[in-house]
Amino acid sequence: MNGLKIVGLGHFVPENVYTNDEISKNIETDDEWIRTRTGIEERRFVGNDETNYSLAVKAADMAIKNAGVSKDDISYIITCTFSADFPVPSIACMVQSELEIGDSCTCFDINAACSGFLYGLHTVRGLLLQEKDKNKYGLVIGSEVISRHLDMNDRETCILFGDGAGAAVVKLEENYLYEFTSGSKGNYEVLHVGALNEDKQYVGMKGKDVFKFAVTTIPKCINNVLNESNLSIDDIDYVVCHQANKRIIEAVMTKYKQPAEKFPMNIMKYGNTSAASIPIMLSEMNEKGMFKKGQKVILVGFGAGLTWAANLIEI
């Protein structure tokens, strides 16, 4: 099978750190509540001179350098985001412009909320399979500036999210493992950003409903890709979950009776960065030297829509 090989990873988070104590200044909450209910200790928010595309550019630049590929060989840039700076041009086109990538590259954004990066990987694989030249690369970016969509007086949402970007340069690889599962529910109520006739585009969420959805959907996704590949969870080296809540990830870990090392987390430092959370995690794991050739990794996420997905990839 033609699998999808990640050949380079990068990430970027804004410098501005907001601790739980800072977030708690204006609302009735505290560090202890946020840590125990979510695992989050701090998050990053963009400064005035930063944009969604400036984060995306830095993450993409790092991924391309890490891959060591020529920009001329990048055929697709897909940015996964719900928080673009403007409707058009796409963040992907802004990345193309800033990084001076040639005009034979096709660029567009997709929005599948927190599942976005996983949809992006699957989309680029489909596109690369159609290319005559199988040595072309795809650049998939998850980039979010969620701080612009937070009502800092709503303690049920403003504590959870952060800004950041992660990116992966990928190519097709013959005889590589690859499986994908996805779906969506067509749901607005449980999790959305913005509403008709409202000026402010704030996150609105029924937290408990999202939590229940996550802890049932993640195992279904994992089981789907395991069944399709005739593998068991013991054959998997890492399960990289969307970083939404430490308790959600721990519930999945416990269900499969797996060690914590298999379910890496960085939600403590960044909060939930939506489509950026999985590529940021992957890039940090890469920097720490956690990947070895032949490892099998499941990427799994869920988000507004309600959407869900998992990709099983080989390193």
Shortest gap between Cβ of 75 and ligand UT7 (angstroms)? 30
Binding-site ranges for ligand UT7 (CB under 6 A):
29, 33, 37-38, 114, 155-156, 159, 191, 205, 207-208, 210-211, 214, 244-245, 272, 303
Query: Which is catalytic among the residues 66, 122, 242, 266?
Result: 242
- Of the pair 156, 250, the CB lying nearest ligand UT7 is at 156
192 is catalytic: no
Shortest gap between Cβ of 218 and ligand UT7 (angstroms)? 11
Q: Quick check: helix, strand or coil at residue 9?
A: strand
- Of the pair 217, 311, the CB lying nearest ligand UT7 is at 217
158 is catalytic: no
- Residues 95, 108 contacting (CB under 8 angstroms): no
Query: Which is catalytic among the residues 80, 93, 105, 114?
Result: 114
Q: Which amino acid belongs to residue 248?
A: I
Q: Quick check: helix, strand or coil at residue 206?
A: coil
Element (H, E) at 5: strand 3-12
Residue 80 carries which DSSP code?
A: E
Using CA atoms, how far residue 163 sits from 72, 168, 250, in Å, is 29, 18, 23
Q: Round the CA-based radius of gyration of the chain to a whole number and report it.
A: 18
Query: Which is catalytic among the residues 66, 111, 224, 272?
Result: 272
Name the residue among 85, 79, 206 with its Cα closest to residue 142.
79
| Sequence-ordered list of residues with C-beta below 8 angstroms from that of 220, at least 6 positions apart, any chain | 308
114 is catalytic: yes
Q: How far is CA 37 from the centre of its chain?
A: 21
Q: Cα(66)–Cα(68) distance, rounded to whole angstroms?
A: 6
- Of the pair 107, 249, the CB lying nearest ligand UT7 is at 249
Using CA atoms, how far residue 153 sits from 60, 91, 113, 132, in Å, is 33, 29, 23, 53
- Of the pair 46, 205, the CB lying nearest ligand UT7 is at 205
Shortest gap between Cβ of 99 and ligand UT7 (angstroms)? 28
Query: Looking at beta carbons, which residue is closest to ligand UT7?
Result: 207
Q: Cα(96)–Cα(179) distance, rounded to whole angstroms?
A: 29
Shortest gap between Cβ of 114 and ligand UT7 (angstroms)? 4
Shortest gap between Cβ of 149 and ligand UT7 (angstroms)? 12
- Of the pair 26, 135, the CB lying nearest ligand UT7 is at 26
Catalytic residue set: 114, 242, 272
